[in-house]
Amino acid sequence: MANFLFTVWPFVGCVNPQIAVARVLAARGHSVAFYTGKVFQDRIEQLGFRYFPFRHLDEQHISELLLSRNAMGRNWEQPWRLRPQIRKFFVDTVPEQLADLEKIYAEWKPAVMVTDPAMWAPYLLMSDMFPVQVAILSYACGCMLPGSGAPPMGLGLPVARTGWIHLANRVTGAVTDFFLSDTRRAANALRRRYGLSPFQGPVIGLAARLPLYLIPSSPDFDYRRRDLPECVQYVGPLQWYPPKANENILDHVRSDRPWVHVTEGTLHVREPFLLRAAALGLADLPLEVIITTGDERTADDLGLSSIPRNVHVLKWVNHEDLLPRIGAMVTTAGGGTVMAGMGAGIPLVVVPTEWDKAENAQRVVEAGAGIRLSPRTCTPRRLRVAVENILRDRSFSENARRIATSLRKQGGPDRAATLVESIAVRARQAAGAGLVSISVN
């Protein structure tokens, strides 16, 4: 048996997929621990895992960067504000991550670290400094490694099928590379500070050297890429939901007509424009609209004088109860929501905002499983037309079911756990070789 440490930023969309894999490992007799924020301590410990808190890392600072009124997500269309925030979040927190993780390593000796791809210390530094195997477990719907098989990351661009699109993607990739150049230089400066050689290309490119990079998707939903290293493994949706509560919450909803679920995911930094547009645009249609607001919002935050009779505004509904009953989903295209919908064979209307959401949304479009709207054009009328098209045109649901079939074939949490277990052998071999960790004190 081995020790497995999951290192993850304290947000539901990042933590829950790791919990799904961690539960399988624990059931197989391994020791499992989490390094994350205190907001998840109770959940982690109630599930029987060991919990390691952020100590050097300032959790309040992270919250301000991602959840405040000046959060990164609010500045996505303002690159002059976003650029320094990217460096603060991804690079400037690395020494604090490393200080925490070095102590955890000394105390608990994990054989494998399974890390959130946005938490850089494990694969930017630790994989070269300690005899520990590092695996990435992504929350995104596709592989972030650059290559000829996918558009440049960042804007959710289409796959290049014509010369003009290919040229546009190359130009956009060059601009994006320049935009992130200061972040890359800062990351290389950190590597030199700890006696490591610099790297070329984006930081995520270091994942190609790792033994394992898990994608909670399928090749069919990731452009059928043929340009990826062997370490990249598709495992399908990695879903875990808290124990069921309010199991009868949907009993009052009419079941004799289609249901449409509307959600902006679990990380809220913008005004609830999508929920508002859905409540207005889908009012009085012959369908039932299930809107979930999350804990931070209420029906009053939608700014409506009244809630239409066919619209039901709830804080949260367990997807295990809801998804089998809906005909379409409207979402801002967070990875967890998209994979839940695709895994259930549900066509989507995607209105991507920030982070990886544009990439997730474009994969829905490329798969023929949904319609994409931009936040700026997401009026109640346009959203209404998109939902009506999704429900009327059978090709969307047929393609969604095709993707669902491909996702089920990937094995889910069980296969992900098996792959993670396999690299623990390499950790034992490294330990047997007598490798010595490098002190960073």
Provide the greatest CA pair distance for the chain: 70
- Same fold: 3-236+411-432 with 259-407: yes
**DSSP string covering 347-369, please?**
-EEE---STTHHHHHHHHHHTTS
- Select 259-407's CATH number: 3.30.70.20, 3.40.50.300, 3.40.190.80, 3.40.50.2000: 3.40.50.2000
* Average pLDDT per consecutive 10 residues, the chain (441 residues; last block may be shorter): 95 92 97 96 96 94 79 69 86 96 96 95 95 94 86 75 74 76 93 94 91 96 92 94 71 90 79 91 94 78 82 86 93 91 96 88 95 93 97 96 97 97 80 50 32
Q: Where are the domains of the chain?
A: 3-236+411-432, 259-407
Judge contact between 345 and 327, C-beta under 8 A. Answer: no
Smallest Cα–Cα separation from 395: which of 370, 364, 372? Answer: 370
Nearby residues of 25 by Cβ (< 8 Å), 6 or more positions away:
4, 32, 417, 420, 421
Query: For residue 76, what pLDDT is reported?
Result: 67
- pTM across the whole model: 0.91
Phi, psi of 33 (to 5 degrees): -135, 160
Query: For residue 436, what pLDDT is reported?
Result: 44
Q: Return the exposure string of 329-346: e unless at least 16 CB atoms fall within 10 Å of the residue's CB, then b.
A: bbbbbbbbbbbbbbbbbb
What topology does CATH give the domain 3-236+411-432? Rossmann fold (3.40.50)
Q: Is 407 helix (H, G, I), strand (E, B) or coil?
A: helix
Q: Return the exposure string of 137-157: e unless at least 16 CB atoms fall within 10 Å of the residue's CB, then b.
A: bbbbbbbbbbeebbbbbbebb
Query: For residue 438, what pLDDT is reported?
Result: 38
Smallest Cα–Cα separation from 377: which of 369, 386, 368? Answer: 386
Q: Is 136 helix (H, G, I), strand (E, B) or coil?
A: strand
Query: For residue 160, what pLDDT is reported?
Result: 66
